[in-house]
Amino acid sequence: MNVKKLDHIGIAVKNLDEALKLYQDILGLECAGTEVVEEQKVRVAFLPIGDTEVELLESTDEEGPIAKFIEKKGEGIQHLAFRVDNIEEAIEEMKEKGVRMIDEKPRYGAGGARIAFCHPKSTNGILVELSERED
């Protein structure tokens, strides 16, 4: 598996518009766009910074994974995403190395990415996302 870079840091927020005020108005970052990913029950904003992005995630459903995360842990860093060359190969390699996968097959992620999550119990308590997308 070739990890190319840290693709993004996913941050769970209760209110995307309010969170954007911090990142745009105070930190001076520019939002590259927002998107709703129905499959994951989230509304997402992308804030590029250098060679990576901050990804703000607001739940669109009180039963969605982001809503459950915030209920349990509060707002904050929800996952780290690593860009890989080939998502299928990366999933298989992780499994071969004993990493428990949440996603056995890639699924659609925000920004046109193909993604798969590793279970935090296999990755030192961190939700790790593998992400494949065009540069």
Task: Write down the pLDDT at residue 45.
Answer: 97
Task: Write down the pLDDT at residue 134.
Answer: 80
DSSP state of 43: E
pTM score > 0.85 for this model? yes
Do residues 10 and 55 touch, judged by C-beta distance below 8 A?
Answer: yes
Domain range 3-132, CATH class: alpha beta
Instruction: Give the residues of the chain that fall short of pLDDT 70.
Output: 135
CA neighbor of 57 nearest in space, from 79, 90, 30, 87? 79
- The span from the CA of 94 to the CA of 98, in Å, is 6
| Domain ranges within the chain, ordered by starting residue | 3-132
Q: pLDDT tens, 113-129?
A: 999 999 999 999 999 99
